[in-house]
Amino acid sequence: MRIEAGALNNAGLEDLAAKYGLSSRQLRCVIEQEYGVSPIELAQTRRLLLAKQLLTDTNLRMADVAFASGFSSVRRFNHLFGSRYGLNPTSLRRHGQVSASADAIVLKLAFRPPLAWTHLAGFLGSRGACAVEAVHGAHYQRTVRIGRYCGWLTATPIHHQNLIRAEISPGLMPVLPQVLVQMRRLFDLDANPQVIESQLAQTAQLGHLVRRLPGLRVPGAMDTFELAARAIIGQQVSVKAASTLFNRFAAAFGETITTPQPGLTHLSPSAERVAEAPLQGLIDLGLPAKRAQTLQGLARALASGQLRLEPAANVEASMAQLRELPGIGDWTASYIAMRALRDPDAFPQGDLGLMKALKLTKPKQLLAVAEAWRPWRAYAALHLWNHLNAGG
């Protein structure tokens, strides 16, 4: 949610409510009904939880802990920490084990097991630009831009623990809450596999697939424009061809960045830069003219604020807006909803791969079969795609 990502750190409740078309009073009522606390209390709790993690897991200075957690001053941080926990931050740190890394902020992200990390990382690594995103063994790496802050991150599962070790560049410290929320979305760490798989495993088409590969997640996105651009670039071409085209796209329109990871040299192109680019520059990458126009149309819609692609948005409304853009049909809109909007029930109903995996010939047949998978059809699609890619 946006509050967890720090939406109230530098803006008021009125600004946040306006993004949802609500009044501040309406948003306050919704949050109090859902969480039993006010928006401010919820934001304070999120800040304190992150501060506790930074105190025990890192060697950041106390001032850096305060500001990275979203507090406007060290004094305010110390006061709230003391009133809430009955101790000062320094005493908590003395009893914790801190990271010795000086080159990165090292934190641990928890998840509900199981987690099919190899398949998750492989899915991400096979579809990105190697200069933006890469997988080396169990290590996932990528560059990151959030607003005016840029950097990189690395994620690795900790053996025999339900934790992901995240290394985040210090340059992203001012937007650390947002980075952590987006990482959880990227790796789908808030999913509850037992709930999802207990339903999918009961169906004849998916039971053996779920039992063979428990913990399969729906990959999200660190950058929703990047994800949507990949979906458009990949229309009517193979995954390998789409990756080649996206590599060219990133090299041509992404800014360069220095990272300690060999090969990670570019930030993913921003919607603003693509919106202003000459159309011929996109065509020269090897894109058909109509697909280049679709890509630029999407970039302009996002850059202007006409379209928002984020998990908190109204999924149906966002999909309808996507389909209004020339060149974006049901499949592309559904795929974006799966990964960028985080809709667990989004389903690309006309997908040829899904029909092939189930030996079906018509989209209507696929939709009929998929009814039994609601509200987890996105996870069902991932299982079927994985089965097909494995030669099943």
Partners of 149 in the beta sheet? Answer: 146
Of 352, 287, 293, 304, the closest CA to residue 326 belongs to 293
Phi, psi of 57 (to 5 degrees): -105, -15
Q: What is the pLDDT of residues 93-108, one digit of tens each?
A: 755 555 555 689 999 9
Domain boundaries, the chain: 13-94, 105-193, 224-343
Of 57, 67, 63, 64, the closest CA to residue 92 belongs to 57
Rounded CA separation 78/178 (Å): 22
Whether the per-residue pLDDT at 142 is higher than 60: the answer is yes
Is 351 labeled as catalytic in the residue annotation? yes
The pLDDT of residue 381 is 97
User: Fold for domain 105-193?
Assistant: TATA-Binding Protein (3.30.310)
The pLDDT of residue 97 is 54
Tell me the average pLDDT of the chain: 90
Q: Does domain 224-343 have CATH number 1.10.340.30?
A: yes
Is pLDDT larger for residue 38 or for residue 327?
327
Q: Which of 57, 223, 343, 351 is catalytic?
A: 351
Rounded CA separation 362/368 (Å): 10
The DSSP annotation for 294-339 comes to: HHHHHHHHHHTTS---STTS-HHHHHHHHHHSTT--HHHHHHHHHH
Whether the per-residue pLDDT at 65 is higher than 60: the answer is yes
The pLDDT of residue 127 is 83
Alpha-helical runs (H) found in the chain = 13-19, 24-35, 39-57, 62-68, 74-85, 89-94, 117-125, 176-186, 193-200, 207-212, 224-233, 239-253, 271-276, 279-283, 289-303, 315-324, 330-339, 352-357, 363-370, 377-389
Whether the per-residue pLDDT at 315 is higher than 60: the answer is yes
Four-CA torsion 137, 135, 182, 382, nearest 10 degrees:
-90
The pLDDT of residue 350 is 87
**343: which 2 tokens?**
């809709």
Whether the per-residue pLDDT at 159 is higher than 80: the answer is yes
**24: which 2 tokens?**
């501040």
Q: What is the pLDDT of residues 279-297, one digit of tens each?
A: 999 999 999 999 999 999 9
The pLDDT of residue 126 is 86
Q: What is the mean pLDDT of residues 132-146?
A: 96
Q: What's the gap between Cα 146 and its chain centre?
A: 12
Q: Does domain 13-94 have CATH number 3.40.190.10?
A: no
Phi, psi of 9 (to 5 degrees): -70, -40
Residues whose CB falls within 8 Å of the CB of residue 156, separated by 6 or more in sequence, listed in order? 138, 139, 140, 164, 165
